[in-house]
């Protein structure tokens, strides 16, 4: 008994040093030398300023301003509207949307009225934003990823179908030929892992920054 207690106490301490300090430090050391870009979060800078991470989704929206003051909702979070100059990421359950420091699932059940309402309102918002530029668009044609919230709340990707629909708006707002926008989308498609694992998606931040480089952020 006494022997087990002594061994356990020493054991847990030395194993903590080995597994909890040494192991993460070694991995950090190697990662920082071998893959510094990835290990530090694939940061993206524009004019020397950090604008995000390549693999973390963002909310491409503008702060709503009324009488010169930013509008906030009941809980004090800023009210935003989608910025039509940019491709939009998937719906997000975090507060505020696409919060990179407090991720959460929507946790909406498959048979719940709350879920149906959330999806219906996402479809409505999507149609309101895209239909003026893509008159043939109906609720039945909305890709599922555009009206279902992502898991992480910061999904960086949208489906190709979703990007193709939004391309109509981007072309019109940015005064670009449709073919240019479609070409740009194809450039930012991330394929499947090893050619089979997962689904292809379009990285929204990189696509939007490429648009800004092409036409200037003013649009």
Partner 1 sequence: MTFLGWLTIFLFVTILTLLAMPLGRYMAAVYAGERTFLDPLFRTPERLFYKVMRVDPKREQDWKAYAKSLLIFSLAGWLLLYFILRTQTLWNWTGLNPQGFHSAPWNVTFNTTSSFVTNTNWQYYGGETTMSYFSQMAGLTVQNFLSAGVGISVAVALIRGIVGRSGKSIGNFWFDLIRTVLWVLTPISFVVALILVFQGSIQTFSHYLSFNGPTGLANQLAMGPVASQEAIKELGTNGGGFFNTNSSHPFENPTGFTNLVEMLAVLIIPAALVFMYGRMAGNRRQGYAIYATMMVMFLGAVCVAYIAEAHGSPAQHAAGLHTQAIAGSAGGNMEGKEQRFGIAGSALFDVITTVTSCGAVNSAIESFTGIGGAVPMANLSASEVIFGGVGTGLYSILLYVLLAVFIGGLMVGRTPEYLGKKIEAREIKLVAIGLLITPLAALFATALATASSAGRASISAAATGPQGFSESLYAYLSQANNNGSAFAGYGGFVQPNAGSIGSHGITFADLLGGFTMLFARFAPILFALAVAGSLAGKRISPAGLGTMRTDNPTFVVLLIGVIVLVGALTFFPALLLGPIVQGLTTHLY
Among 3, 74, 175, 218, binds partner 1 (CB under 8 A): 3
CA distance 191 to 213: 24
Q: Which residue stretch of 55-63, 128-136, 174-182 sits at the interface with partner 1 (rule: CB under 8 A)?
A: 55-63
Q: Which residue stretch of 45-53, 128-136, 166-174, 176-184 sits at the interface with partner 1 (rule: CB under 8 A)?
A: 45-53
- Residues 71/64, Cβ–Cβ less than 8 Å: yes
Q: Which residue stretch of 23-31, 128-136, 172-180 sits at the interface with partner 1 (rule: CB under 8 A)?
A: 23-31
CA distance 151 to 154: 8
Q: What is the DSSP letter of 118?
A: H
Answer yes or no whether residue 64 interacts with partner 1 by CB under 8 A.
no
Beta bridge partners of 158: 202
Among 48, 67, 74, 109, binds partner 1 (CB under 8 A): 109
Question: How far from the centroid of its chain's Cα atoms is residue 74's Cα?
Answer: 25
Which residues between 130 and 159 bind partner 1 (CB under 8 A)?
139-145, 147-159
Closer CB to partner 1, 32 or 179, in the complex: 32
Beta bridge partners of 157: 203
């Amino acid at each position: 008994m006494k022997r087990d207690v002594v061994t356990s106490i020493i054991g847990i301490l030395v194993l903590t040093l080995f597994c909890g300090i040494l192991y993460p430090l070694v991995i950090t050391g190697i990662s920082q030398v071998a893959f510094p870009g990835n290990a530090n979060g694939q940061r993206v800078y524009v004019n020397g300023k950090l604008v995000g991470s390549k693999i973390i989704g963002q909310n491409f929206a503008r702060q709503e301003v009324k009488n010169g003051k930013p509008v906030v909702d009941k809980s004090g979070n800023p009210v935003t509207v989608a910025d039509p100059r940019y491709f939009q990421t998937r719906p997000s359950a975090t507060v505020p949307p696409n919060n990179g420091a407090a991720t959460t699932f929507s946790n909406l059940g498959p048979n719940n009225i709350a879920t149906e309402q959330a999806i219906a309102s996402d479809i409505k918002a999507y149609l309101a934003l895209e239909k003026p530029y893509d008159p043939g668009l109906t609720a039945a044609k909305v890709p599922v990823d555009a009206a279902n919230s992502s898991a992480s709340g910061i999904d960086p990707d949208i489906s190709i179908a979703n990007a193709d629909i939004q391309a109509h708006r981007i072309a019109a707002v940015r005064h670009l030929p449709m073919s240019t926008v479609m070409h740009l989308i194809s450039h930012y498609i991330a394929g499947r892992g090893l050619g089979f694992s997962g689904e292809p998606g379009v990285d929204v931040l990189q696509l939007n920054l490429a648009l800004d480089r092409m036409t200037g952020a003013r649009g």
